[in-house]
């Protein structure tokens, strides 16, 4: 399969126009544009398995038809490592009853650093025969294997992959756990991190970060400020972020497992939280806030909270909710930088970023 670079250029321009139109009411500067590789850009993939002619095949379904499978041998938008592993894994389950029996789903997670993990999902309990076969498979393929069955999990190797990303002249190492959110397009993620690193600039005050995930942005941004207070609600992501902070010797970050809404209540002194015990919120000299919210954007109270900061650095996976949040902030802040990151080529989705500065 070949990808049409001209078609991609047209699609990219359409996304830039869409972002430009959404931000036009706020006098936004022309967005910087960060494109994607045309193929092998996606670091994770998930397939159902479909039996046909007595054999299991990788399968996907269109959004319009959840009943008719699209059988797949290769997946060109996925990383080279995933495409190398797909036929090897298929040959392994075809040759092994313990691996294939009631196997219904397969998930791949890879990194730019060439680490890989495969999750095998079953409609049956996993026994010692499965463990023996899966251990050999993990060794043969040079990957970690996760077996999932009715809420139980067997881990062979690690339950995470390790990514390495270069930001601001330094290489950061990231532990990315199985089942947790990670940016799917590693190449564009690295561009996004460098843009945010440059947009924040070097400062001698403090940063508040909401929705920090596994510390994707936290690690490089922490090197630009005096100290960081970061929040995240997912326990898996918090544990990964703490590990990543330790692994990279980033020691100026305090991480709290609170939602953005809960932190807003804490800063507004609406109510105390036990998870903030021992943390003096008033000791921080916040001048900047970094947010990377879910598709719904920031709720009105959290959006109002960000108004307190001189600088709002905002990464968004939904330009419509980004524009809605900016509309709430436009009377006190103006867009001084913006960017479009093509995390999801060949779809209408995009990531965007803005730096809002107090008027």
* 183 carries a ligand binding annotation: yes
Q: How many CB atoms lie within 10 A of CB 22?
A: 17
Residue in 212, 303, 317, 338 annotated catalytic: 317
* 265 carries a ligand binding annotation: no
Respond yes or no: is residue 163 known to be catalytic: no
* 52 carries a ligand binding annotation: no
* 244 carries a ligand binding annotation: no
Task: Give the residues across from 263 on adjacent strands.
Answer: none
Respond yes or no: is residue 212 known to be catalytic: no
Nearest-5° Cα angle at 108, 104 to 114: 160
Residue in the structure block whose two tokens are 């929040």? 231
Residue in 39, 163, 178, 351 annotated catalytic: 351
Residue in the structure block whose two tokens are 């913006």? 338
Q: How many CB atoms lie within 10 A of CB 62?
A: 9
Cα–Cα dist 279/255, whole Å? 10
281-295: buried (b, 16+ CB within 10 Å) or exposed (e) per residue? eeebebbbbbbbbee
**50 is written with which tokens?**
């479909």
* 251 carries a ligand binding annotation: no
**216 is written with which tokens?**
């994707």
**99 is written with which tokens?**
């691996």
162-179: buried (b, 16+ CB within 10 Å) or exposed (e) per residue? ebebebeeeebebbbbbe
- Residues with a catalytic annotation lie at 317, 351
Q: Output the known binding site for S-adenosyl-L-methionine.
A: 183, 211, 216, 232, 292
Q: Output the known binding site.
A: 183, 211, 216, 232, 292
């Amino acid at each position: 399969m070949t990808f049409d670079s001209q078609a991609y250029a047209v699609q990219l321009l359409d996304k830039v126009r869409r972002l430009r139109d959404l931000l036009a009411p706020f006098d936004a500067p022309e967005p910087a544009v960060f494109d994607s590789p045309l193929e092998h850009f996606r670091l994770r993939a998930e397939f159902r398995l479909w039996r046909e002619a007595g054999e299991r095949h990788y399968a996907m379904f269109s959004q319009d038809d959840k009943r008719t499978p699209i059988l797949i041998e290769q997946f060109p938008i996925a990383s080279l490592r995933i495409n190398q592993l797909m036929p090897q894994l298929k040959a392994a389950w075809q040759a092994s009853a313990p691996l294939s029996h009631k196997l219904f789903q397969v998930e791949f997670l890879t990194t730019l650093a060439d680490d890989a993990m495969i999750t095998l999902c079953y409609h049956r309990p996993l026994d010692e025969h499965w463990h023996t076969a899966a251990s050999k498979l993990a060794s043969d393929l040079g990957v970690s294997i996760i077996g999932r069955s009715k809420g139980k999990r067997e881990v062979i190797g690690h339950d995470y992959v390790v990514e390495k990303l270069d930001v601001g002249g330094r290489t950061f190492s990231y532990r990315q756990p199985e089942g947790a959110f990670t940016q799917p397009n590693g190449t564009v993620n690295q561009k996004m991190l460098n843009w945010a690193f440059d947009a924040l600039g070097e400062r001698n005050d403090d940063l508040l970060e909401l929705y920090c995930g596994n510390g994707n942005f936290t690690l490089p941004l922490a090197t630009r400020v005096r100290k960081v207070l970061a929040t995240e609600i997912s326990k898996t992501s918090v544990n990964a972020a703490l590990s990543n902070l330790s692994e990279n010797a980033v020691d100026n970050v305090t991480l709290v497992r609170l939602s953005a809404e809960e932190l807003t209540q804490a800063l507004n002194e609406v109510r105390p939280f036990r998870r903030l015990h021992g943390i003096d919120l008033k000791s921080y000299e916040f001048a900047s806030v970094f947010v990377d919210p879910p598709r719904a954007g920031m709720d009105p109270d959290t959006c109002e909270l960000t108004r307190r900061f001189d600088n709002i650095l905002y990464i968004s996976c939904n330009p419509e909710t980004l524009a809605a949040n900016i509309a709430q902030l436009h009377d006190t802040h103006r867009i001084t930088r913006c960017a479009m990151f093509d995390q999801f080529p060949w779809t209408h989705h995009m990531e965007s970023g803005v730096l809002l500065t107090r008027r």
